[in-house]
Amino acid sequence: MTSKRPTIRDVAQLAGVSHQTVSRVINQYDRINPETRKKVDDAIEVLGYHPSAIAQSMSYGGTRTFACISPNLTDYTFASMIEGAETYAREHGYFLISATAPDASSFQNLVEQLVQSRRTEGLLVINPYADKRYLYLPKDVPVVLLGARPRTKGLASVALDDKQGGYLATKHLLSLGHKQIALISGPLEEDCVQDRINGYKKSLDEAGLPFEKELIYSGDWSATSGQVGVENLIKQGLDFSAIFAQNDRMATGAIHFMQKIDWRIPEDVSIVGFDDMPLSSYFNPSITTIRQDVPILGHNAVRLLINKKENPGEEIQQLLYTPELVIRNSTSEFTNKTLYLK
């Protein structure tokens, strides 16, 4: 049988004070007798009482609630960002609402509802430039962009250096002797996609190799689009010995399809993914990828949001985190046996 979770009234009874006094101690009011504060703290420790962020928010006179809006909750990166944001918010006495807005219209409606109802004191926005949803960012509550670089200086943000990620992925393949490197990207209208392509271009340029547009296939981040991307390259009869897939899901789709047609990975084609999803190290072969510490992005986005709320006059921060190359078994050196399509 599960034991009953202690309440604020249980703490009050054990400490011999009113529940209002317990609330004042929890919320750090100054005018509390030190002896009374110790009684309450001791009772909290004995009972293992943990005040909820919502209950604390009411005592502060504000909602102490933030909202995080993302296009969906099924994407690994989005979900991990939100998990990191929720953890940091909870640890600092805030409550985080997670909501989805699949398009600009639903984003606009959701933002208006949150702001007009005064249900949130700050907003985290994931993927703000998809469908031009950035046009509907509110002016009267603090906003932090999560996972995207701002296009203006007036917005706080926490993002990954996607250009560096694309550069590292391509440079690794070049270092193995590959010169014909195909690219399976996400949707071309997304800033992170263009940044990763620019990193790919930079690495090719440093190696003295041309950028060949026909070697790029634009997918939608799904494993299926990774498969379709490889099929498309094959149908065009393009030569390639390696692939840079802009996320691990597309990499898994590409690998699955190539294995179905008896191509060996990495002996025939090497492939690099992006994100370092948990599945990537268990896939066969394990996937060489670009790692980003996604939960840390969520942590720091909430940290910036709290700072913007509590110190509105401070300089706006735009944080950019460096990715890391993780080498596994899906890449190997180019040899004369490496497959080129004819």
Give the C-alpha separation, 298 to 78, whole Å: 9
Beta-bridge mates of residue 66: 96, 122
The angle formed by the CA atoms of residues 195, 200 and 206, to the nearest 5 degrees, is: 125
pLDDT of residue 1: 42
Task: State residue 29's pLDDT score.
Answer: 60
pLDDT at residue 337, rounded to an integer: 57
Residues of the chain under the 70 pLDDT cut: 1-4, 27-30, 51-62, 337-342
pLDDT of res. 144: 96
Look at residue 9 in the predicted model and tell me its pLDDT: 81
Model pTM score: 0.80
- pLDDT score at 325: 99
Spatial distance between the Cα atoms of 243 and 216, rounded to a whole number of angstroms: 10
What is d(CA 290, CA 3) in angstroms, rounded to the nearest whole number?
Answer: 45
pLDDT value at residue 210: 97
Question: CA separation (Å) from 195 to 31, 48, 138?
Answer: 53, 48, 26
Q: What pLDDT, in 10s, does the model give residues 50-100?
A: 765 545 544 444 678 999 999 988 888 999 999 999 999 999 989 999 999
Burial class (CB in 10 A: 0-12, 13-18, 19+), 288: buried
Would you call 293 helix, strand, or coil by DSSP?
coil
DSSP class of 275:
B
Which pLDDT score, from 0 to 100, does residue 335 have? 86
pLDDT at 231: 97
Among candidates 6, 326, 340, which has minimal Cα distance to 179? 340
Domains of the chain and CATH, by start: 8-60 (1.10.260.40), 65-161+293-323 (3.40.50.2300), 163-292 (3.40.50.2300)
